Chains A and B, each alone.
Chain A
């Protein structure tokens, strides 16, 4: 197992400085999903489906470890990823299990409720709003299903639903928050891998937890969703952030995503230049002589 842990510490994960800073607004609430506590029970997936009355997804076996959910989607707002860290020696099972998490990684993924959200900025109808809890919610009575928020999310969260032809994603249990309840997934999590609270407090807790983990020898532990990893490129952090122990891509997360709308202005500038150049070409081609 030496090889495995060596690869781990050679990855960017171990070398990352722990900043733990976000641009979250005062009073913002969100999730800390500590994957080192996740046991892969999927209670969060079930609780989410029940509370939000979401229909069943494709029923079947994917063959991807214990993950038969695969992905976040219109009717799946929590998704537990399963990564079996099989030895790099040609798929052999490791002879010795690691003392920590026994070569299993499990992670409950969710909408990140970005501090600056790509979906919200893209939405042309104003259906996607930022709530008083600093969460990002799609107003279903306004959404007209244009689908532009779907490719505008760097994490692949919102999805077009073919059944009601609108886009859906996690609301961070907006209805429960309004009644002073914590979201269904956090409520149901038996190991407190999913913790709900004020971002400031959760972030402080996350920093302490990463320190403890690193003292215990989990050198790869880091926060995903601060300004250094995940919440990068103009997003200024994620209101649903994570403690991970492997590079983000292992969990199907991008390392340094960017707010897509950062491109709007520079792309408009080059378009104006092109329009001026081609307009001049047209004048040159058609002018009287």
Chain B
């Protein structure tokens, strides 16, 4: 950081606050023009778990409503996984607050233009659906006994309808995190505002299908066809993720996109997310598809693990590039200058 300051200071000395020879001013001693959020690991983990909780609920419901009769396992595993990934989510969010004891203040108001406000309500509503569906599943599996009152009440509930209705808050939970980042003044997030929501959904779906495939492949008796179908979903969502992520990098341009191109975050983008997290699993799946024979369980599990790691690294990349972007006044000015140029052209 201090190195950066010195360099900017030298530029300013040479150009009087302007780029050498250029008309556009550079920065004020390199001091950031906006403040960055304090969010770090807890929010990154929340984005990861929240995405899996929402998307595995979606996959469970779709498997139940439209799926192959042999895919009951997907529904069952999806409901349990959704609930398991849900549990840490509010805990992480509350611990990340400056004043965790005031977490209920989040539900004082509902503001439709604030993704954080809508998100708090969305997580609450989804929490109810996810918990209820997991309980119904547990009752179906006989975890509450056969003839107990609780088991009877839960089994009498319309599981299909609850599952169908729950897909709305489940998709919301997967997507709103992207919208939350988009509705800020952080250059790299604001510039890619339209892409971040879809990217969050795609990554949530790929992580959830990989997690489900991994869980099911560890269970005995999971049919090969079931895993095949999950793998197909995984590959489609990974391709969507790849397209959206590379589109975001192109859309950012040379100045705003700097955090994705340089340094340790640039390496995580290239080798971690694109290479290991998306490219390798896709290549493994494509190889088995091209050869016409199915990959071994080990290779399939490897692809799932890499997809999950890639999903986590993507969340890391999203949060950390934002922090770096907010610290770059040139990026802020590139964003706010571009609006003038656009309005002057119009």
Contacts and interface: CB of A to CB of B under 8 A. Distances in A.
Interface in A117-161: 118, 121-127, 142-148, 150-160
A254 B185 CA distance: 11
Interface residues of B, number: 97
Contacts of A251: 28
B197 A271 contact: yes
A252 B339 contact: no
Interface string A75-88: 00000010111111
Given A165-B98, A254-B333, A255-B340, A124 B120 contact: yes
Interface string B289-330: 000000000000000000000000000000000100010010
Contacts of A247: 24-25
A253 B103 CA distance: 34
B130 interface: no
Interface stretch (B82-90, B139-147, B233-241): B233-241
A86 to B, nearest CB: 5
Interface stretch (A4-12, A37-45, A175-183): A4-12
Given A148-B114, A270-B197, A88 B18 contact: yes
Interface string B131-158: 0000000000000000000000000000
Interface of B: prevailing SS: helix
Interface bracket on A: 35 or more
B185 A151 contact: yes
A273 interface: yes
B171 A279 contact: yes
Contacts of B179: 263-264, 267-268, 271
Contacts of B16: 4, 84-88
B106 interface: yes
B23 A7 contact: yes
Closest 7 pairs between A and B when the two form their complex, measured CB to CB:
A145-B98, A271-B197, A165-B98, A274-B198, A252-B28, A144-B102, A254-B336
Given A150-B38, A266-B194, 10 more contacts: A146-B98, A147-B39, A156-B35, A249-B27, A252-B27, A254-B336, A257-B185, A267-B194, A271-B178, A278-B201
Interface of B: 9, 13-18, 20, 23-29, 31-39, 58-59, 62-63, 66-69, 71, 74, 96-100, 102-103, 105-106, 108-109, 111-117, 119-120, 167, 171, 174-176, 178-180, 182-186, 189-190, 193-198, 200-202, 205, 229-230, 232-233, 236-237, 240, 322, 326, 329, 332-333, 335-337, 339-340, 343
Interface of A: 4, 7, 10-12, 62-64, 67, 70-71, 73, 81, 83-88, 90-91, 118, 121-127, 142-148, 150-160, 164-167, 232-233, 246-247, 249-258, 260-261, 263-268, 270-275, 277-279, 281-289
